[in-house]
Amino acid sequence: MSAILVINSGSSSLKYSLIDIEQENLLASGLIERIGQDASPVAHTVRPESDGTAMPTMLDATYRDERPIADHAAAFEIMRAQFAAHGPSLEEHRPVAVGHRVVHGGARFYAPTLIDADVERQIDELAVLAPLHNPANLAGIRAARAVFDQVPHVAVFDTAFHQTLPPAAYTYAIDAALAAEHRVRRYGFHGTSHQFVSEAAAAFLGRDLGSLRQLVFHLGNGASVTAIDGGRSVETSMGLTPLEGLVMGTRSGDIDPAALVHLSRRAGLSIDDLDSLLNTRSGLAGLAGRSDMRDILAGVEAGDDAAMLAFDVYVHRLRAYAGAYIAQLGGVDVISFTAGVGENSAPVRAAAMATLGFAGVEMDAARNEARERGIRRISTNTSPVTVLVVPTDEELQIARQTAELL
C-alpha cells in the first residue's frame, strides 16, 4: 500500500491526513489545536478500512485528548503517538511521501515542488506576502522533515492553480515599477480546492474538462470564486492576499481603498488597526456581530435587521462576481458550490442563483434543499447551465499532486 501523509500546518494548529493514494482512501485524520498554549485539544479519527469494492461496515472512530503542546515539533510527536495508540500503524502504512499545504507561492511556484533547503528559504521569503500563513506552513515543514527524514516532502501551493491568470486579470492599475519592485499583483488563493472541484464536476458530468466553462464558489469562513476555462484559472476574486473579493466571515472583501485613508485620517487608525479591522472585525462579523452563516440565517428567520442586511450584502457580492465572470468567460456551462457554506447552505445557493436566469440557470428547489451528501445536481435536468454541490477535498488533491510529482 502506498500511503501519503498530508500536512496542513497553521500558526497554532496541525491538521493531518493519511491517505492510501492507490485506492484514494482516507485512512486516518487528525487535528491538534492551540499549540503553545496550556491545553491543546487533540482529535484523531480512524477510518474503517475498505478494499475499495464495498462500503466499510464500521463507523469512524474518533479519539480525543488534551495536553500542553509546546510547538510544532512536539505536535508531530503527539501525532505519531496517536497513530501508534489508535492506528493505523505507520509501520504497516508507512508514508512514501509527505505533502504540505503552503498558502503563498508568489509567482515563483506554479506546480507541486520537491522541498529542499532552498525551497524552504523561498517560502520564508514569501512570508512577507502571507505573514499569517507561510511562517506556520514552514514550521510544519521543518518539523515534519525532522520526523520523516527518509521520505520526500512536497509543497503544494494555494496560489499555483492561479498561475494561468492572464496579465489583464492579475495586474493592478498602479505604478508599474512600484508594483514590480514589491511584487504587488493578484495571486489568488483556494487554488487546490478550485482545481479539485472543477475536475470533480467534469468527471461527475462525464464531460471533457477542456471543453467546460466553469464557476466555482468556495464559500467557507474564507470565500472566493474562480472562473475556469478548459481547466485553467482565468479569473479569481482573491488578490495579493486572501482579503480581496467576496464578503467573508470576518474579512471585508472588496472596499474602496480611500475608505482606509479616510479612517486613518479621521479616526486615527494605524496600519495595524486597519489590518485588524479588515481581517478580523469585518465581513459578516462586522455587519451583524456573527461570523457563522448559520447564525446569520437564524437572525434572518428571527427578523434581525443586522442579520438581514449582512445576508443581503453577502449575496449581492456573490451575484456581482457571478455576472462579471460569466461575461469574462462568454457564458458558463457549470457552476459549483463548495466548502462549509457552499455545501450546506441552501438559502445562500438559492439567493446567489436567483437572478441568473438570463444566463441559463434554472434551479430545482427540492434538489437544492435536500440534505444529501456527496456531489449532486441542484439545477433542473433541462437547465442550460448545470449547478452542482461538490464537496471539496483539498487533502486528497494535495496527495494526488504529491504522487504525480514523484
Residues known to be catalytic: 158
List of residues 6+ apart from 176 with CB closer than 8 A: none
Q: What is the DSSP letter of 59?
A: P
Bridge partners, residue 216, by sequence: 226, 336
Q: List the one residue out of 352, 343, 346 whose CA is nearest residue 389.
A: 343
Report the chain's C-alpha Rg in angstroms. Answer: 22
C-alpha–C-alpha distance, residues 162 and 244, integer Å? 15
For residue 331, CA distances in Å to 20, 246, 307, 336, 358 come to 38, 21, 33, 15, 11
φ/ψ of residue 149, rounded to 5: -85, 0
Asked if residue 281 lies in contact with residue 243, where contact means CB atoms within 8 angstroms, the answer is no
d(CA 250, CA 287): 9
Contact of 144 with 100, CB cutoff 8 Å: yes
Nearest to 210 by CA among 229, 226, 197: 229
> CA-CA distance, 399 to 286, in Å (whole number)?
36
C-alpha span between 134 and 109 (Å, rounded): 13
CA 262 to chain centre: 32
Residue 39: how many other CB atoms lie within 10 Å: 10
The whole-angstrom separation of Cα 158 and Cα 109 is 10
Cα angle, residue 335 at apex, residues 185 and 206 outer, rounded to 5°: 115
Measured distance CA(325)–CA(332) in Å, rounded: 9
| Residues forming a β-bridge with 129 | none
First-to-final CA distance of the chain: 16
Read off φ and ψ for residue 20, nearest 5 degrees: -80, 105
